[in-house]
Structures are given as C-alpha cells and as structure tokens.
Amino acid sequence: MEEAAAAPDIAADVRRERIVSMVMEHEFVRVTDLAELFRVTSVTIRADLELLDKQRAIRRVRGGAIPVKPARAVEPSFEVSLGSAAVEKTRLARHAAGLVVNGESVIIDAGTTTTFLARALVARADLTDVVVFTNSLRVAVELEPAIPRISVLVTGGTLRPVTHALVDPLGAPMLERIHADTLFLSCHGVHLKSGVTGVNLLEAEMKRRMINASRRHIVLADSSKLGRTGLAPVCALSEADLLITGREADPEFVAALYEQGPPVDLVE
C-alpha cells in the first residue's frame, strides 16, 4: 500500500471501519502504513486488527491484515465507501477546495469524496461569503463549523440511508429556483462512451437537476471509478467542465480523456 499523508484524528470505530475497507481494497495492509495514516501508534493499530480479526471482519497476519472473504458485489454503505481510497479522495478534495473563491455559490453533491471536500472547505479559513447548496446530510454537518463564513442550505427531500442523500420526492424544488456558480459532482463511474454514471436512479436524477442548476460542472472521481459504468446515467463527458482525479489513474484512460473528454486535473 502506498504511503500517504496523515489523516485527521478520528474516532476509533470510524478508524476501524476504514481499516476494513482498506483491507478489502488493497488485499493487504501493513501496520506501519495504517499507523502513519491514522496518526496513532502501531500498538493501537495492532489492537484494532486483533479486534477486527475476532469479529471476522478481517484476518490478522504477520505485519498487517488481509481480507477474510471476498467483498460482496452490492452497493457499499457510505461509511465503508468513505474509507475506500481515503488518501486519494482527500487529495482530490483539497485540490477541489482550492478552486472555490470568496463570494461563490456552490452545489455539493452527496458522496464520499464530496464529504472530504466539505472538510477541506472548512479548513480554508480564508474563504468568506460562500453559499453551499447540498443534498447530503453528511456534507451539511461537515460544513457546520464554517458557518457563518459559509452559508449552508440543504435541499430537503426523502432520505436515502445508504448514502445519507436527500432525493425525490420533494428533493428538487430548491434546485429549480437557483443558478449556482459551480457544481461539485460525485459519481460511481466515468466511462469514455457511457459518460458519468451513478449507481441509483433517484440519486442520478438529483445529479441531473444539480447540473441544470449550475454554470460550471466539476466531476470528482478517484482513480478506481475511471472506466467504470453504473446503472444510472448522469451526463455525457461533454457536459463536464473539469474532471478531477488522482495520479493513480490509468495513463491510457487519462490520455483518452485528454483527447475527447473534458479537461483533467491529475492530482499528485
């Protein structure tokens, strides 16, 4: 597993959820890497792994942990997705936060990378008079410490528990009444032919409404989402003004995007 910048302090139960998702993603994680990532001691990580092994969430091995069984092919919970590719998502979020300027109106879609974006916006103490619209309860809560520098408006609608997103019915009225400067859009996949897709039809419809309610459309997609197609179409690549992804992205796919897709910010 690649070494990464340290993550902010988090609760033990959340840390363990992220450890499980990282084990499933990388197939093997080292104690030393986890200790550096979560800013805790190796002793703490070993205790986490022992507990998770007893719970049969992972299998403890010398130096680290491996999966106890293959991951199920179902939509993961928000909490599990939050830990998946967490280091890369944090880099993308910080880069995206750097594109926001004072006085801007922003729509932030529900998603894990956009949750990291909310944290990155809070960390930007220089930002003032920013208005954020979101259909994500998690994004709204993450932004709360930045009020009143950042005004937070939640769309309303029906709660979809697996992603903490608000969708139709009643999710659209606010979006139909605004013209925001920038949309930060999350996704399940980015494909050269299928475009940007989601995994749920109701959330995809909300994403379409967000696109219609904004002038600039920025897609946030960690490298694992490139080349992947989800059930629910969101938009063609031509409707995106910028794609932000990580240096881990497949070079051939990125080259193809440069030729026929939107501009790409490859975040180091």
Report helix, strand and coil shares of the chain as percent, to nearest 5. 40, 25, 35
**pLDDT at position 91, please?**
93
**pLDDT at position 82, please?**
52
**pLDDT at position 117, please?**
97
Q: What's the predicted TM-score (pTM) here?
A: 0.71
The conformation of residue 226, written as its DSSP 8-state character, comes to: B
**pLDDT at position 4, please?**
41
Tally of CA atoms within 13 A in the half-sphere of 105 that contains its CB: 11
| Ordered mean pLDDT values, 10 residues apiece, the chain (268 residues) | 45 85 80 89 94 88 80 49 72 97 98 95 97 97 96 95 90 96 97 94 96 98 93 95 95 92 93
**Cis status of the peptide bond prior to 251, with omega within 30 of 0:** no
**181 — phi, psi (to 5°)?**
-70, -50
**pLDDT at position 153, please?**
98
